[in-house]
Structure formats: C-alpha cells, structure tokens
Structure 1
Amino acid sequence: MSAAVGYSQIPVMRPQLPTTADLVPFLQEIDQNRYYSNHGPLYRRFARELDQSANFPVSSSILVGNATQGLTSVLRVRGLAGRPYCALPAWSFVASAAAVVEAGMQPYFVDVEEDTWAYSPLALRDMPLDKLAAVMVVAPFGQSVPLQEWDEWSSLTGIPVIIDAAAGFDFVVQELEAYPNLTTVVSLHATKTLSSGEGGWLIDFNKDVLRNALADGNFGYLDGAIGQTFGHNYKMSEYHAAVGLASLQSWDMTRRRFAERFNKMVEALEPLPLSVFPNPSKPFFISSTFHITTEMPADFLASELLKRGVLTRQWWGEGIHRLKAYAHFPRGDLSMTNKISPYILGLPFSVDMTDGEIERVRDAIAEAFYVHAMT
C-alpha cells in the first residue's frame, strides 16, 4: 500500500552518520598507514576509545563485522558443549535467533514481562537447566535488563549469559560494570544511535573469552598461526572503524539530539490514549526507535498512518517464534509475547525530525483512533 496522494512521506527512520568532512582526517590516516583491515591502527583506537567512553578497564572488548557475528562468536566460545539449547526471548529481532542457529544450538523461546519487554531468571525456573548451553538476554530496543541478577544466576548455575544489547549503546556505557559472568554485544549498525555504518562491539572482562572470540573471528588465529581452532572471518575494517571514531567524537551531541526529540514526541502524544516505550516516567536510555502501544491492532494503525503519509514499522513483528524458519523450535509459555506484540508499533523517529513532522504523526494517530471507533 502506498501513501495517499497529496501527502509527503515521513520515513520511519532517517539515520545520520558522520559527514564526508568528518571522515576525511581518518581516511587520510588510512591512506598514510596503508592498513585497511586485520585489526589495524584505527580498529585498535576505536576499541580503546569505546572502552574509555564506558570507563571499562583497558582491553575489555573487541570489534567485529556486525553484532550478529559477535553473538555467534561468543556463543561458540562460551556455550556449554553437549547441550542443545540457548534460551532467548521470542520477543526480539530475528538476528538473535539467527546467531543461535549459526552457533550450532537450537533456540528455546521464552516469554517476556509486560512492562519491561524483557525477562528475568524467573522465566527459566521450569526449564531443564542441564539442557541449556547458554542464555541470551535481549535489552529491548536499548533499554535495561537486570544485569546483576543475571550475573548472579550465571555464577550459581554455571550457564553462560550473553547480553544482546544491539540497540543499547547508551545503556551499556552508563550501566554495564565488570560483571565476571556476562558477555555483552552492541550493534554499531547504521540504524543505531552510535554507528560505524556496520559493526559490533563485543565486551567481556575475561581476557580468555576475548582472546578466543578474537580467534573465532579471524580464522582460528592463535599463538601466531591460523587454524588453531575452527574460525570464521568477522573482522571490522579500518573504514568502518573510521566511521565509528567520527561518530564517537560527536556522541554527546547525538545523545542530546535523540533525547530532545524523544521528549518532544512524548509531549506531542501525551493527550492520546496510548503508552510509549520506553516509559518516559521511568529511567530510560536513548534509542533510535520510538514505540507505542494502543488498543488498535498495529497493522490497522500502520495502514491508517500510511494513508496519511506516515511510515511505520513493526520492528520485531509478532515474535521470532511466528517466523517461518523458526516456528518449529521449542518454546515455553509465550502468552505475554502473544498478547502485547500485535499492538506494538514503531513510529517515525530520527535526530532531525521536525516539530512539524511530529505534529503530523500525532494528528494522523488521532485520526486513526477516530476511524477505529467508527468501525
């Protein structure tokens, strides 16, 4: 379905990465170094500056080609041998489950909580833990998960916990501490708040885990030789590191712009009968997406908004378990995921979204409520 004639479209997302002028100094360094990949000088600097931005100890992370590769790698490195399952929420982006399958495990889908869209160790209380190779905890759209609780659970059970914080750069730099049992992966994709165009940031405070993950992403390179373990090619190039370094230079301004636009959206939508995620009345972290839940099915609302030139997205659909390729995998009771997901819709949101565009979105939603009431 296309937008009605007479409406200019408001895109659901409009990423803004560093300009050519921002990148020139870094590109000139690459020209001078003649080092283009394989953990070069800009790669090392970007990893170091990311650690510094979060006040992590020196060398607490590595960079990978994308976050899905990072999740795959750490699952292979840390997953418990001989166990078939990795527990993860059904309410997530498909990349979470894709990494599990690529790592040689089967996804076991679990439910989330209504208010946080995440899950706690309580969700695993009826699972046979001796079948779990790992647990993946997703920080929904960059919001917080109970890190200390998961770290303690991992210590008690011996099962590794991976934090999929794909959209959670702000959350990670503010909240992540040196938990000994957690590995965290952040996406640096173009759609995220801090971006290298494409890439992933893998954080672990255990040097052996980082060493083995680095080898896994570099053809099993260990102790000066390739093929010492099975490995793949997950390296970040110098060009992507250049984009990341330029993005990091302007992070404080980027964060302020996202926060200001988020608050403006909340203010505009406040009169309407809907709820916003993340909940603006509680502590939250900035993200590049803006979600609402209403009494209207998301597909109905999306159709009505499209008629008015407002593009939207059900970013996670109605759960990974409903996708054709993943429908056969085991799952627990997913009643909450099935309850909330059909009513969640991602609205247009970007750092340079105008006040006029925000007002158009608000008015389009108000008109959709009227149409829904009349049907």
Structure 2
Amino acid sequence: MIVSGGSNTVRETVRIAKTERLNTLAREYVNCNRQLQCSDNNVARSRLNCQLQNIEQQMMAVESELEELDSASQDSNRCQLILDENLPKIDFKAAIQRVQGIFKGFPPEGGAALFLVQNSLPFMGDLLVKEIKDCLSKSTRDFRVYPVSFSPGSGLDQLTFLHRIADQLGVGVSERVECKKKYVESIVEKICGSLRTGSTIFFEFSQWDNVPSTAQPELLAWLIQDFWHYLERRLRDTANKWRKIRIVGTIVVDGMIAEGCTQSVAFCNDVDKFDMKNLFELPLEQWLESDIADWLGSFSDLPADTIDAIARRIYRASLGGMPCLICEALRKEPQLKQTKIR
C-alpha cells in the first residue's frame, strides 16, 4: 500500500496497523486461554501458560506504542493550536496602530467605530479581526461578540440582516416589526439597555462578497446610515450614565467592495479625521522577511541561524510577502512541528 499525505496520515496508518495487531493478539490470547482451561495435560498446560505470557507481553508492548502515538498526536495538535493563536502577531502593526489610536481618542464615556477590511483572503484579514478582538477582550470587563454573516442560503436583504442580530440579542417575535426603522430602533434599544461601564460590543460582519455587486451600495448605505448612525447616536445618549463603553464593528471582504459603495457612504482612513459615523478602512500590507524572522524569534525556541533560514526560504516563496502564503508555509513548516511554540 502506498500512503500519500503528511505526518498525520502516516501516523494514522501506523495507528490502524498497531490496533489491528493488538486485536489479533487479543484473539490469540482468548483462544490460548480457552485451550488452557480445557486441558488436563501438565506438559500442554505448561506450554500454554508460556504462550499466554508471551502474548501478554506483546500486547503490553503494542499498547505502549499506541500510547506514544496518542501523546505525539496530542503534542502535534497542541502545537498547531498555539501556532494558529500566535499567527495574528506577525505583522498588522499599521492597522493595529490606527485601531488603538482611534480607541484612545474616544471620550471618557466611550465611543463607536466601524472598520472596513478589504482583500481579506490574500492578506489574512481574518487574523487582523482576531487580533482586534483579542486587544478589546483584554481591556474590558464585559466583552460580547455578535457575528453576522451574509449568507445566500438565508437571504441577503436588510430584514434578514436585522433578524440575525435579533436572534443573538434575544429580541422577541412581537418586537420584530415589518417597519425596518422601528425594527432597528428595537434592536438598538436592546443593545444600549444592556450596556454598563466597561461594556464592549463587537459586531463581526463577514462574507460580504456574497452580496451581489449591484446590491452592495444600497445595503452598505442602509447599514451605515440607518443602523450604525442610529446606534452611534443612542450610544452617546446612553454613555452619559457610564464610562468606557465601546461598540466596534468590522465589515470583512474577501476581495474588494463594489465600486458604487465608495459613492454611497463616507469613508475615512486618517485617524486624525476619524468620525464615529463614517466607515474607517484598515490597511492590509504585505509582510517582510524580517517580520517572519521576528515572529519566529518571539514564538519559537529555534536557534538564530535556523530562524533566518526559515524566514528567508518562506519569504522567497511568498510572491513578495503575501500573508496567506506565509501563513500556509508556517503551518506546514516541519521544524516548527518539532519545536516548542509559545
């Protein structure tokens, strides 16, 4: 049999073979023990006892090998999880600096910010969103995430969008009115009524690419002007009673938003000109060889020459530092699977 694939495939093949071997030994042990119980010949009984001891030793050896395989598999999975957790730390410096600058500019009572992340697929925008959520969760006492995906299977219109938020907020059926304006007000009142000092609400709007390009300008304009503006206005009214309340949203686009969107809403990418009502675009950039080396130096225990060699090799194959290619290469890097990722 020819086995293709990575180390996980090989490990699973070995596990199957050893499990089959253990089952075979178990059957031999049962048969041998049955013969022993039925025999009254001392010579035969002595031979069967020796055979049983031999089979038992083989079974214990195979069980020990299976335990080692399980331990190696758990270590590999744990290493992969830690690696994935730390990948957002490679290089989103420019975007994170803008985000932190905006948050620091909020008044004492708090504020709102809606971010746009374009070209998410090649530039790993999902990792940037994960890093933003991580920063927020570490600096608040009440952190809540409301993911809203634009899925074609359940509709892409404004009412469906509101239903998805309402489901997570526990908005009752009687409050889900056909009038979108009143529906928005009902949802926003539910949100603002739950806020206290230190509360942070995070809306994660994903799969925007599923919205047809012809429908994107109207939906985006409605989302910002009817939903976000009202939410921001009511937040200011509510925040007077509390301190450090934040409502943050990210619109994640695998590619680029439709051209008409730039005419339908107000954009901003300058922290000094930030407006809570406008959509703020976060920059995504290609990564440098030094970014890869710095990350390896921070999250592995590899020697310097190995770090430099890995960073150089991965960067050379990444088409000028494309984050998606670098992340994939790091996940497959055999030397990272054999070292401690911290």
TM-score, normalised by the number of residues in structure 2? 0.27
Structure whose alpha-carbon radius of gyration is higher: 2
TM-score, normalised by the number of residues in structure 1? 0.25
